[in-house]
Amino acid sequence: MKILVCISNVPDTTTKIKFDEGNASIDTAGIQWVINPWDELSLTRALELKDDAANGVKSVTVVHVGPASAEPTIRKALAIGADDAIRVNAESSDSWFVAAQIAEVAKKEQFDIIMCGIESSDYNGSVVGGMISEFLGIPSVSAVSGIKIENGQPVITREIDGGKEIVTVPIPFVVVVQKGIAKEPRIAAMRGIMMARSKPVKLMEPAAVEPLTQIVVFEKPSPRAACKYIDADNAGQLIELLQNEAKVI
Amino acid sequence: MSVLVYTENWDGKFKKLSFELVSYASGVAKMLGTDVTAVSIGKVEDTELKKLGNYGAKRILSVDNDKLITLDSQAYTSVISEIAQTENSRVIIISNNNTGKSIAPRLSVRLKAGVGSGVSKLPLNLIPFTVYKRTYSGNAYAHVVIKTDVKIITLAQNSFDVIDAPGNAVIEKVNVNIDGSLIKTVVKDVQKQSGKILLTDADIVVSGGRGMKSPDNWPALVELASLLGAATACSRPVSDEGWRSHDEHTGQTGKIIAPNLYIALGISGATQHLAGISSSKYIVAINTDKDAPIFEAAQYGIVGDAMKVLPKLVAAVKELKK
Ligand SMILES: Cc1cc2nc3c(=O)[nH]c(=O)nc-3n(C[C@H](O)[C@H](O)[C@H](O)COP(=O)(O)OP(=O)(O)OC[C@H]3O[C@@H](n4cnc5c(N)ncnc54)[C@H](O)[C@@H]3O)c2cc1C
Ligand SMILES: Nc1ncnc2c1ncn2[C@@H]1O[C@H](COP(=O)(O)O)[C@@H](O)[C@H]1O
């Protein structure tokens, strides 16, 4: 069994987002780039599955669609434990473009399980995983909080309103993962970092695909009204304000 | 040429979410000078279906097929895409919830329709078709142009007011042929918790952070929540510590919610936490540290000890209910 983990390269989650002049792009100066938190967890889960020989997972490959500047993030994924990596050498212009590229990679290399995060912390699209599965015409399961392999078949937990469902789908398939998929992201040990240097990163040129959407301008969230303080000794007054002023209770 | 909206029901009943979607679809249809057609999948009585008419739907296409009991993203995509093609829909509106997230991207590829996801306002512009979407986990919003003829919008939950527009909708039963072999998702088990107000549905949420000090201090928070008809939530460290169950954790790596009121007790307001709650209409912060970042996001604040403030709030709500 071969697993492909899609990783997105995003600003560290504490980054203060600033825009370039014209507000059409993000000012990348000084940004610390990291593996998208969900992707870090799905990579962790993929490696856990591989650790148990009974699961029959032969390899865990990571794929990223992005320019060379994303190499450190890819190396980090290798240091955490991925066996090899593929980078599609292109700006990730929109979700459709990214998904189409990953689908092309998957057609060439044949993976049994493709893992994506529920959302990238930069674009918040929540679509790339589902799009890949449709490009490939294979099943997809979304809102996945757990995956196991039993007798060569996947046992997938997905979140539904007010509960969970345990489902299975035939291989190959895409899972779109969320909270619960792994407890803590696995961190790279010194040995992993050393080994990552010699692991292969395959470079692929992008297929000709036209993006369907385009960001034209960014804006900051509208500023909120300043906080109104209520004296702690008179805390009950808050309830009155919520009822009569904010009208929310 | 209509605006198509996919409405979701739970055991045959629509929730506010579906009325919000139809209200939004009506707004879009008005801009385009067309009507709203709603699609419902599942067993829903006519009296219930009719309710969609009160928010502006003109036609309601009801698909009831036993093969669609389980959410299978491929089967659902086939049904909705066929309807969208027959109806010649220009804009398709779906919720940005778990179900929507599993259908919208597949539909996009099936119809070669660009997606604007997590949209929280009516389109900013028709030509070019521009939507307003959350990015950077709420730290920025983007104007996104969708270039294709057919557009898909996934609407952020609780971002659009439900608008009453009483009207009479026509209900049409749609028969779909579903090849059973196309359904790949097999459900082996369902684990439902009942009786709890769902965090993602709740109008009011009372949430606790590490400043609550110990799980022993939660009963007062839970009491306040139940008096307000609110759901309970927590910050990540609280669920990591096992003080509260994991499905209560809000934030970037937990649930993203947008209630009318979010009361944060002993929560510092880290960006990753705010990423999950910043779309709330009102945020109340109760924290001993007057410089805690949560106060920058809040409209009402109390600088004080949560354990001392909670009983006062509980008393005030009880007083109000008298
Ligand atoms: C990749 C990543 C993802 C993350 N995702 C999330 C996420 O989804 N959700 C999330 O919540 N966090 C997330 N975090 C963690 C986040 O950075 C913060 O560490 C976390 O939100 C802090 O939780 P807290 O506010 O409960 O605790 P603390 O930061 O410890 O704050 C406790 C607060 O309580 C106040 N306090 C202390 N005593 C009292 C008292 N008696 N009464 C009232 N107030 C008191 C303190 O002044 C302080 O402000 C993430 C972190 C990373 C790196
Ligand atoms: N440029 C990219 N390269 C590889 N995978 C990506 C890329 N962008 C998004 N993904 C994957 O798709 C998931 C959802 O992203 P999005 O649809 O942008 O919210 C992420 O968690 C990644 O797994």
Model confidence at A199: pLDDT above 90: yes
Q: Which residue among B267, B296, B309 is best mutated to probe the pocket of ligand 1, counting the most ligand atoms within 8 A of its Cβ?
A: B267
Is the model's pLDDT at B195 over the cut of 80?
A: no
Q: Last residue of a domain, which of B151, B182, B213?
A: B182
Look up residue B12 and give its DSSP letter: T
B260 to A247, B105, B220, B226, B282: CA distances (angstroms): 10, 29, 21, 16, 6
Give, using CA atoms, the residue closest to atom 9 of ligand 2. A8
Mean pLDDT score, A224-234: 94
Q: Is residue A242 part of a domain?
A: no
- Say yes or no: CB of residue A243 within 6 Å of ligand 1: no
Q: Give the dihedral sign, CA A48/A51/A54/A55.
A: positive
CB spacing of A99 vs B105 below 8 angstroms: yes
Q: Between A and B, how many residue pairs show a Cβ–Cβ distance under 8 A?
A: 274
Q: Which of A60, A89, A86 is nearest to A201 (CA)?
A: A86
Q: What mean pLDDT comes out for the span A164-181?
A: 96
CATH number of domain containing A141: 3.40.50.620
Q: Which residue of B has its CA nearest to A95?
A: B115
Q: Which residues pair with B283 in a beta bridge?
A: B262
The number of distinct structural domains making up chain B is 2
Q: Is residue B193 part of a domain?
A: no
Q: Kindly state whether B84 is in contact with chain A, defined as any CB-CB distance less than 8 angstroms.
A: no
Residues within 8 A of A (CB atoms), B 156-215 only? 184-194, 196, 198, 200, 203-204
Q: Is the CB of A174 under 6 A from ligand 2?
A: no
User: Above 90 in pLDDT, residue A161?
Assistant: no
Q: Residue A55: its pLDDT value, please? A: 98
**A121: nearest Cα among B293, B153, B274:** B274
> Chain A within 8 Å of B269 (Cβ-Cβ)?
no
Asked, for residue A146, whether it belongs to a domain, the answer is yes
Q: What does residue A8 show for φ and ψ, rounded to 5 degrees?
A: -110, 145
**Rounded Cα gap, residues A140 and B108, in angstroms:** 14
Residues in A touching B141 (Cβ below 8 Å): 218-221
Is A240 part of any domain? Answer: no
Question: Which residue range is the domain that position B64 belongs to?
Answer: 3-182
Does the residue A105 lie in any domain? yes
What is the CATH number for B124?
A: 3.40.50.620
The residue of chain A with its CA nearest to that of B108 is A131
Q: If you ran DSSP here, which 8-state letter would residue A35 be given?
A: E
* B111 and B76 share one domain: yes
The verdict on residue B88 lying in a domain is: yes
CB A174 within 8 A of CB A133: yes
Instruction: Dump pLDDT digits (tens) for A78-96.
Output: 999 999 999 999 999 999 9
Q: Within this chain, do residues B11 and B132 fall inside the same structural domain, yes or no?
A: yes
Task: Please give the pLDDT value at position B182.
Answer: 87
Q: How confident is the model at residue B23 (pLDDT cuts 50, 70, 90)?
A: very high
pLDDT of A13 over the 90 cut: no
Q: Is residue B76 a contact partner of residue B60, using CB atoms and an 8 Å limit? A: no
Q: Is residue B132 part of a domain?
A: yes
Q: How confident is the model at residue B246 (pLDDT cuts 50, 70, 90)?
A: confident
CA-CA distance, B260 to B280, in Å (whole number)?
A: 6
Q: Across the interface, which of A165, A180, A246 has its CB nearest the CB of B190?
A: A165
Distance CA B39, CA B55 (A): 14
Sign of torsion over alpha carbons B136, A23, B280, B144: negative
- Pocket test of ligand 2: the residue of A128, A131, A174 to mutate, having most ligand atoms within 8 Å of its CB, is A128
Q: Does B198 reside within a domain?
A: no
Q: Does residue A165 sit within a domain?
A: yes
pLDDT at A120 over 80: yes
Q: What is the DSSP letter of B197?
A: P
Is residue B152 predicted with pLDDT exceeding 90?
A: yes
Query: Within a domain: residue B282?
Result: yes
Same-domain pairing of B62 and B149:
yes
Secondary structure percentages of chain A, helix, strand, coil, to 5: 30, 30, 40
Scanning chain A, the segments in alpha helix (DSSP H) are 37-51, 71-80, 95-109, 128-136, 190-196, 236-244
Shortest alpha-carbon distance between residue A198 and chain B (Å): 32
Query: How close, in Å, is residue A145 to chain B by CA atoms?
Result: 11
Last residue of a domain, one of B182, B214, B233: B182
Closest atom of ligand 1 relative to the B209 alpha carbon = 26
Is B285 found in the same domain as B248?
Answer: yes
Q: How far is the CA of A64 from the centre of ligand 2 (A)?
A: 8
ipTM score of the complex? 0.95
Which residue has 């909705």 as its token pair? B80
Is the confidence at residue B82, as pLDDT, over 80? yes
Closest-CA residue of A relative to B247 is A179
Residue A27 domain flag: yes
Question: What one-character-per-residue DSSP string does B86-130 give?
Answer: HHT-SEEEEESSHHHHHHHHHHHHHHT-EEEEEE-SS-SBTTTTE
Identify the band that residue B321 occupies on the pLDDT scale cut at 50, 70 and 90. Answer: confident
CB of A115 within 6 A of ligand 2: the answer is no
Predicted confidence at residue B200, as pLDDT, reads 86
Q: Measured from the CB, is residue B212 less than 6 Å from ligand 1? A: no
Residue A234 maps to a domain: no
Q: Do B28 and B140 sit in the same domain of this protein?
A: yes
Q: How many structural domains is chain A composed of?
A: 1
- Domain of A10? 2-220
| Predicted TM-score of the model (pTM) | 0.95
Q: Is residue A247 part of a domain?
A: no
Residues B41 and B172 in one domain: yes
Chain A interface test: which of B117, B121, B130, B246 (most A C-beta within 10 Å): B117
The single residue listed with the structure tokens 């009719």 is B50
Provide the CA A165 distance to its chain's centre, in angstroms: 22
Please provide the average confidence, as pLDDT, over all residues in chain A.
Answer: 96
Residue A48 Cα to ligand 2 middle (Å):
21
> Cβ of A13 and B282 within 8 Å?
no
B258 within a domain of the structure (yes/no): yes
Is residue B115 within 8 Å of B104, Cβ to Cβ? Answer: yes
% of chain B with per-residue pLDDT over 70: 100
Pair (B144, B224) in one structural domain: no
Does B194 reside within a domain?
no
Q: Are residues B228 and B307 in the same domain?
A: yes
**Do the strands A113-117 and A84-88 form a parallel or antiparallel pair, or are they unpaired?**
unpaired
Indicate which atom in ligand 1 lies nearest the CA of residue B210: 26
Residue B196's pLDDT band, with cuts at 50, 70 and 90, is confident
Per-residue pLDDT band at B201 (split at 50, 70, 90): confident
A8 C-alpha to center of ligand 2: Å?
5
Note the pLDDT tens digit of each residue in B207-241.
999 999 999 999 999 999 999 999 999 999 999 99
> What burial class does residue B82 get, using C-beta atoms within 10 Å of its C-beta: 0-12 exposed, 13-18 middle, 19+ buried?
middle
Length of chain A: 249
| Closest chain B residue by Cα to residue A230 | B302
Clarify whether residues B176 and B261 are in a common domain.
no
Residue contact A229–B106, C-beta within 8 A: no
- Round the average pLDDT of chain B to a whole number and report it: 95
B66 three-class SS: helix
pLDDT > 90? residue B177:
no
Report chain B residues whose CB lies below 8 A from the CB of A129: 105
Whether residue B262 sits in one domain with residue B124: no
Distance, in Å, from the CA atom of A129 to the CA atom of A131, rounded to the nearest integer, reads 5
A66 lines ligand 2 (CB under 6 A): yes
State how far the Cα of B40 lies from the Cα of B12, in Å rounded to an integer: 10
Mean pLDDT value across residues A94-116: 98
**Nearest Cβ partner of A232 from B106, B309, B316?**
B309
Q: What is the pLDDT of residue A208?
A: 97
Whether the CB of A87 sits within 6 Å of ligand 2? no
CA of A189 vs chain B CAs: smallest distance (Å): 23
What are the pLDDT digits (tens) for B290-309?
A: 999 999 999 999 999 999 99
Predicted confidence at residue A5, as pLDDT, reads 98
**Are B155 and B285 found together in one domain?**
no
Decide if B190 is inside a domain: no
| Predicted local confidence at residue B214, as pLDDT | 97
Nearest residue of A to residue B262 by CA position? A248
Confidence bin at B192 (pLDDT 50/70/90): confident
